[in-house]
Structure 1
Amino acid sequence: MISDFCQKKTIFPFYYKKILLPAIFLSIVRSCIKPPKRGVQAFLSIFVPATTFMQQEISKEEARRLALYAQGLLNTQPNRGKAGALQVVEHLGYVQIDTLAVAARAHHHTIWTRTPDYEENHLHQLLAEDKTVFEYWSHAAAYLPMRHYRYTLPVKARYATGKSHWFEQNKAMQQHVLERITAEGPLQSKDFEDENSRSRGMWEWKEAKRALEQLFLEGRLMVAARKGFQKVYDLSERVLPARVNTTLPTDSEMGLHMVQTTLQQHGLATEAEMYYLRSHWKKAVQQALQQMLESGAVAQLCVEGKENRYALGTVAETVLNNKPDVAATSGLHILSPFDNLVIQRKRLLRLFDFDYQIECYVPEAKRKYGYYCLPVLWNNRFIGRLDPKADRKTGIFYVKKWFTEPDLPSVSDWQPALEQKLLEFARFCGCNKIVDFI
């Protein structure tokens, strides 16, 4: 039986000699001096010490499949309507907000990719009417699930106890802003404009706008809605539904939340990716990860003999065993530059061999692919980069540039899917005609 156990292909060969056999010997010795355990736990303890976890080796193709499934790109039944949009935000944990509207704004684009009949007013309804999502800072400005609200409280507490944004605080102005909103109700930054003031440039915000931002970061104000693309602020107690848990999470709860949400949205991740841009939570994440490994909630993986990664055990089982609710392929997707699948560029390169950056922040003379180049995914690989421009006034969707990735299958395999997706994306961007400059 032991020899059969050792022949499992999912375990590293070196594991047998370096870890497993010594563990068996130590376990036998240990059993002679300690009372025996019972049931399955007793059986497993014969083979694996308490601090050692079996590591499953998977191929890069399997790793990509895990990632795509977790990202909602391998669903056999796509999300639908406003409820589907909420499912996307809740599953991904956040959807990044961006001001660029070259094609579709990032937050709308990311949801549409996973909800084919998504409409832009759905997000407004979720924020302003249903109050099932809210705005705050993730790694960037984002829409987050309202059920995750309490996990933003630690960072808000840091701002409230002295941490500022990139500007000096004006306490008197903050008090003035709070008094006006308390008395008048929800207000925008333009409601504080001085008609005689001169513009100071985009990086020199008016004192009132700075105060609004600081109070928002502290959690004393929330975004109640948006008009156009402008925030409407109100007191947090008037925005938060009564059902929302507002207790400050413990370090242990934060660690478990970060591990759970990272693996839920990414499928698999390294330990460092779980506290990406939040290194002050490193210890809490490490402790939570250890706890979830010991309970069996998390599986330890290794992609083609390289860096250790982790996945939720039930998700790994579903995807790697090809359960019926996992689609065979992802089809073709034109992704936002800020889509959750591609936002961590180093991770993207390691997992998909796709070296990508958005070039709108690159001087024009140094751009290689275009101002607003979009990554194009087909099945489990990136096949190209598209530089578009949607002119909503004329209804024309311009394809300014197209770049095909090297070593692709025959064009005939993916071109029909690309043409169909371009039509769908153009319509979503408010255009009914495509002009191709390629």
Structure 2
Amino acid sequence: MRVDLAALRRHAIGRSLFAPTTLPRAIERLRFVQADPIRAPARAQDLTLRHRVRDYRAGELERRYPRLAIEEDFFVNYGFVPRGLQALMHPREPRHAWDRTRRAQARAVLEFVRARGVVHPREVDAEFAHGKTRNWFGGTSNASTQLLDGMHYRGLLRVARREGGIRLYAARDGTPAPADPAAAFDALVDAAVQKYAPLPAATLGWLLSGLCVGAPQWRGERAAALARAQRRLAGTTLDGVRWYWPPGERFVRREGSDTVRLLAPFDPVVWDRRRFELFWGWAYRFEAYVPAPKRQLGYYALPLLWREQVIGWGNVAATPKGLDARLGYVAGHAPRDAAFRRELEAELERLRVFLQG
């Protein structure tokens, strides 16, 4: 088979938008589901899973989380990973060690959590009164919240469940260091490639940098791991760009279906902005944190996929009167055939049902 850009694009869509299955199987196949707290019209993890899980409803992942063999954790970004994959990232050795005071606070909080079983952050704050501290955004937040975040990252705590979007924590048993760190790191790389392939070489390098946040103890091995991946993975070079995908993978040959899909900003089909521009010839940007006067697409614009092309975007909101969908198109107008209009209405109906929870 001749591998050209159209073949890469078709394969990227077909391998990621697989036939809908059960929630556990979808997460196992994806290997990682990126999370985002913004709900417009639903959280990113739900918008991602609705295309890949049969009869999925908004909020289902959060409701079923305590019964699933998954964990909230940092992979290349923050999200949900199978426990077997999470174990490869622990025990973590953060780049910045805690001082004596912070270590003492963590020990006291860990004893408190073990005694309680599952705790809400406000319980920790009420018990220890750690006060306020400056957060990443320049404002202030409870010091207890930052401490719990740090303990979660270090593997001392796990997210037991959420209430109203707030993480509730339980103590986490320690994970032994892998006998073969290089093999463990390679397995993490393969999981990332499995999710985002086919991908450009620049993205492969970026993924390894992200994995060195998920597994900082191996940041010194990044160059060697990248070299191993480049030898291990299948690939081709097109117009000066090197592409990679899992070895032995058979390319999707069928043409894209007559289906309209509104994708999450972090859906694996569109997550890689480099690849997006190579595939579709225009720049998609996530503008939720862009000042409103400077936005071009909208606060939470969902890429609009039609057949094998991302032809525009949609800003969607659930209102008392129903679904408010405001669409924009790269060409300046919607496709003028009846099939598109029919399939767009079918996608909006799927969104309505999904949002009913």
TM-score, normalising length: structure 1: 0.70
Q: AA paired with 1:178?
A: L
Cα-to-partner distance string for 1:312-337 (whole Å, 9 max, x where unaligned) = 2432x342xx3xxx675372211111
Equivalent residue number for residue 115 of structure 1 = 53
Equivalent residue number for residue 67 of structure 1 = 12
Judge conservation of contact 2:58–2:354 (CA < 8 Å) in 1. Answer: no
1:100 to 38, 41, 46: 38
Aligned residues: 341
Percent of matched pairs sharing the same residue: 22
> Once the 2 structures are TM-superposed, how far is the Cα of residue 168 of structure 1 from its aligned partner?
11
> Could you say which structure has the larger radius of gyration?
1
Equivalent residue number for residue 152 of structure 1 = 89
Judge conservation of contact 2:32–2:195 (CA < 8 Å) in 1. Answer: no
Q: Mapping of 1:30-429 within 5 angstroms? A: 58-71=3-16, 73=17, 75=18, 77-79=19-21, 84-120=22-58, 122-124=60-62, 126-130=64-68, 132-153=69-90, 156-159=91-94, 162-163=96-97, 170-194=102-126, 203-237=139-173, 246-248=176-178, 250-279=180-209, 280=219, 281-290=222-231, 292=232, 298-303=233-238, 305-315=239-249, 317-319=250-252, 322=253, 328-329=256-257, 331-391=259-319, 394=320, 396-399=322-325, 401-406=326-331, 409-429=335-355
| 3-state SS of 2:195 partner | helix
| 3-state SS of 1:261 partner | helix
> Once the 2 structures are TM-superposed, how far is the Cα of residue 251 of structure 1 from its aligned partner?
4.0
- Cα distance in 2 between the residues matched to 1:365 and 1:168: 46
- Kindly tell me: are residues 197 and 126 of structure 1, through their superposed partners in 2, closer, same or farther at Cα, counting changes over 3 Å? closer
- Kindly tell me: are residues 275 and 93 of structure 1, through their superposed partners in 2, closer, same or farther at Cα, counting changes over 3 Å? farther
Judge conservation of contact 1:259–1:289 (CA < 8 Å) in 2. Answer: no
> Once the 2 structures are TM-superposed, how far is the Cα of residue 361 of structure 1 from its aligned partner?
0.8
- Kindly tell me: are residues 331 and 169 of structure 1, through their superposed partners in 2, closer, same or farther at Cα, counting changes over 3 Å? farther
Judge conservation of contact 1:373–1:385 (CA < 8 Å) in 2. Answer: yes
- Cα distance in 1 between the residues matched to 2:355 and 2:33: 18
Judge conservation of contact 2:34–2:79 (CA < 8 Å) in 1. Answer: yes
- Kindly tell me: are residues 101 and 367 of structure 1, through their superposed partners in 2, closer, same or farther at Cα, counting changes over 3 Å? same
Cα-to-partner distance string for 1:66-109 (whole Å, 9 max, x where unaligned) = 111221x1x3x421xxxx22222222221111111120111111
- Cα distance in 2 between the residues matched to 1:354 and 1:426: 29
- Cα distance in 2 between the residues matched to 1:330 and 1:201: 50
| 3-state SS of 1:365 partner | helix
Judge conservation of contact 1:134–1:144 (CA < 8 Å) in 2. Answer: yes
- Kindly tell me: are residues 194 and 147 of structure 1, through their superposed partners in 2, closer, same or farther at Cα, counting changes over 3 Å? closer
- Cα distance in 2 between the residues matched to 1:389 and 1:333: 16
- Cα distance in 2 between the residues matched to 1:91 and 1:249: 25
Judge conservation of contact 2:32–2:81 (CA < 8 Å) in 1. Answer: yes
- Cα distance in 1 between the residues matched to 2:111 and 2:34: 31
- Cα distance in 1 between the residues matched to 2:180 and 2:324: 50
- Kindly tell me: are residues 249 and 270 of structure 1, through their superposed partners in 2, closer, same or farther at Cα, counting changes over 3 Å? farther
Judge conservation of contact 2:305–2:312 (CA < 8 Å) in 1. Answer: yes
* CA RMSD after TM alignment: 2.9
Judge conservation of contact 2:234–2:245 (CA < 8 Å) in 1. Answer: yes
- Cα distance in 1 between the residues matched to 2:101 and 2:316: 41
Q: AA paired with 1:309?
A: W
Structure 2: 5+ residue runs without aligned partners? Answer: 210-218
Q: AA paired with 1:289?
A: Q
- Kindly tell me: are residues 137 and 223 of structure 1, through their superposed partners in 2, closer, same or farther at Cα, counting changes over 3 Å? same
